[in-house]
Structure formats: C-alpha cells, structure tokens
C-alpha cells in the first residue's frame, strides 16, 4: 500500500529526497545543511559524505548521485557507510536526479547501507517544469537550443509512472511517496513546511532559501540564449540584458502547441500518480505558465537578430 506521509518511519530509515527539479529542492537542501545540530537532536543525520557545498544550487549529495549514475568507483558511498555506521537515527539524502532517468534504483539499492530506504519526491505541473527548467538551463548551463528541443531531450524526466514503478519495484510500493508541488496543497504553503510535515521532522529548522535560482524574465532568457549561441562575453550579455529588461512579465516562452502537447501527454499521468499517493482529485490544477500568453519575442525571428547585433556591437 502506498503511503500518504512518512510519519511512521523505522528509527533507522534512510529517506532519499529526489526532486523533481524546480520544486524548491535548493531551499530544502540549504536548510538541512544549516540546521545539522537541530536535526541531530531530533534524530536525523544529513550526511557529509558525497555532499557538494554550493549554496547557489543547494547543499546536495551530488557525488553520491553521480557515483550511482556512472557506476564508477564509489568512495563517497564508502564514506556514507562509515558515517552511518556510527549513527543510530534516521538519515536524509538529497539530490534532484535521484528521481530521474539518470538513476537506476537497483544501483542505489546495491550501494545503500543495510537499512530500509524510502523515496520522497515532488511533482510539478509539466508545463511549469519545462518552462522553469528551460530558463534555468539557459542561464546556468549555457543551453543554446529552443524550448521544444529542450523538452524533447527531457521527455523521459516526465515519465513519472515509469520512474515511480522502478523505485517501487526495487524498494516496495509502501516506501515511495510522491507529493504535488502546488501551493494550495502544500502543508503550510511552502515546499519546506510540507517536507517537514510529511517526514514529521520534530526540529526547529531555520529556513535558508535557494539563493541563486530566481527565474529570468522572457526577455532576459532571450538575451542569454543568443549570448550562449554567440559565446558572447558575460559582461556584454548582462549589459544588453539590463538595457532590454522588462519586469518579470506574465508571459511564457513555450508556444500554444507545446503547452497543449505537454498537457495532453503528461498532465493526466501526473495526476493519476499523485491520486495513487493520496492527493485529492484535481491535483496540479494550477499552473504558473500554462494559461499565460506566449511572448511574441520567441515567435519573431527579428528579435534574436536584434539581440545578436546588440551583443556584437
């Protein structure tokens, strides 16, 4: 039977927080890192093994994730075993890609200490997932292609039924919990308060935000996108971005056809999976982007040419 919360965990449980991307993971990770003492007093360990200390992207267990993904030498997992061996409480591990096509849960099971393992992940409306991830990939990872190409490259990340089934086949249906990333359905109105409530974390945690995950506006995204294609200097990119900046306007980058495709192909599966995990009918009814108008900048071929001329001036 699938759980609706993780309040009755065994005292030696390991909980893997697996994302998805753009569901407030950085704020959760930074808060866990900053509140180690309070967590320990409440019987929880946020291990140092495999942890990459990056406040911008979140103090997350990136090295544990990459070693499991790449099936390479596993020094961080050996460090985790040593750290956990001296700990008699519960353990939290966090990285967005644990619940993604990059990770085979069987590989995670083979590397884990001999303890019961649980997964907690949050699902965001598929249109919002693609739109928000695309803006971040353009900004942070110098992505150079259009949003439809980005979606095609990430389609497997939206196959939440297959991802969920793989974790359940490995660890059991009673050890996997998926929650809606939707303000009205989050306990306390934030993903951090929902995370704390779902796990029953009896600890006074001081929130620490994800400091560098603010979204670009559509005009800023276009400037960054063209700059990535031209390999323009960051200083010049930022000058042009500031000159053309409009406030965070209520527009989206995805065109109507892509919004319809994302909704038709994925939203029903997201809702069904969430219903099976205890969410009320109609989960993910609210989207930050789906009902917004598409920004004409991304439909006008003259716009990127103008930006390119400004960047090269």
Locate the domains of the chain by residue range. Answer: 14-124+159-199, 218-312
* pLDDT of the residue at 56: 64
* pLDDT of the residue at 284: 96
Instruction: Place 247 in a pLDDT band, splitting at 50, 70 and 90.
Output: low
Q: Which of 77, 59, 57 has its CA nearest to residue 67? A: 77
pTM: 0.94
* pLDDT of the residue at 101: 98
Instruction: Place 249 in a pLDDT band, splitting at 50, 70 and 90.
Output: low
Are 288 and 181 in contact, with CB atoms under 8 Å apart? Answer: no
14-124+159-199 CATH, one of 3.40.50, 3.90.70, 3.30.70, 2.40.10: 3.40.50
Q: Is the pLDDT of residue 214 over 70?
A: no
* pLDDT of the residue at 248: 59
* pLDDT of the residue at 232: 97
* pLDDT of the residue at 211: 54
Burial 106-140 (b: 16+ CB within 10 A, else e): ebbeebbbeebbbbbbbbbbbbbbbbbbbbbbbbe
* pLDDT of the residue at 53: 81
Residue-averaged pLDDT of the chain = 93
Pick the residue with more confidence: 208 or 171? 171
Question: What 3-state class would DSSP assign to 177?
Answer: strand
Instruction: Place 276 in a pLDDT band, splitting at 50, 70 and 90.
Output: very high
Average pLDDT over every residue of 2-13: 94
DSSP conformation letters of 107-143: HHHHHS-SS-EEEEEEE--HHHHHHHHHHHHHHHS--
Which range is least confidently modeled, 65-69, 232-236, 279-283? 279-283
Q: Is the pLDDT of residue 96 over 80?
A: yes
Q: Is the pLDDT of residue 245 over 80?
A: no
Average pLDDT over every residue of 9-21: 96
Q: Which of 297, 256, 281, 221 has its CA nearest to residue 127? A: 256
């Amino acid at each position: 039977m699938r759980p609706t919360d993780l309040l009755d965990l065994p005292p030696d449980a390991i909980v893997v927080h697996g994302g998805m991307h753009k569901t407030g993971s950085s704020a959760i990770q930074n808060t866990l890192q900053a509140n180690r003492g309070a967590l320990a007093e409440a019987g929880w360990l946020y291990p140092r093994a495999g942890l990459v200390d990056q406040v911008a992207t979140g103090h997350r267990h990136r090295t544990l994730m990459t070693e499991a993904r790449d099936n390479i030498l596993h020094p961080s997992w050996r460090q985790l075993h040593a750290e956990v061996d001296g700990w008699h409480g519960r353990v939290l591990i966090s990285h967005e890609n644990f619940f993604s096509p990059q990770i085979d849960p069987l590989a995670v099971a083979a590397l884990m200490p001999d303890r019961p393992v649980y997964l907690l992940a949050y699902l965001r409306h598929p249109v919002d997932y693609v739109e928000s991830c695309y803006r971040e990939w353009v900004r942070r990872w110098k992505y150079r292609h259009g949003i439809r190409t980005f979606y095609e490259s990430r389609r497997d990340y939206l196959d939440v039924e297959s991802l969920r089934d793989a974790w359940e086949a490995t660890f059991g249906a009673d050890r996997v919990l998926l929650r809606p990333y939707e303000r009205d359905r989050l306990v306390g109105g934030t993903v951090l308060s929902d995370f704390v409530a779902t796990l029953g974390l009896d600890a006074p945690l001081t929130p620490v935000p994800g400091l560098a995950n603010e979204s670009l506006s559509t005009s800023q995204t276009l400037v960054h996108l063209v700059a990535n294609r031209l390999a323009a200097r960051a200083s010049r990119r930022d000058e042009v971005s500031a000159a053309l900046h409009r406030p965070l306007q209520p527009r989206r980058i995805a065109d109507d056809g892509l919004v319809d495709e994302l909704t038709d192909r994925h939203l029903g599966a997201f809702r069904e999976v969430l219903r099976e995990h205890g969410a009320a009918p109609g989960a993910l009814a609210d989207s930050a982007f789906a009902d917004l108008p598409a920004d004409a900048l991304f439909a006008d071929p003259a716009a990127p040419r103008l930006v390119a001329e400004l960047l090269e001036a």
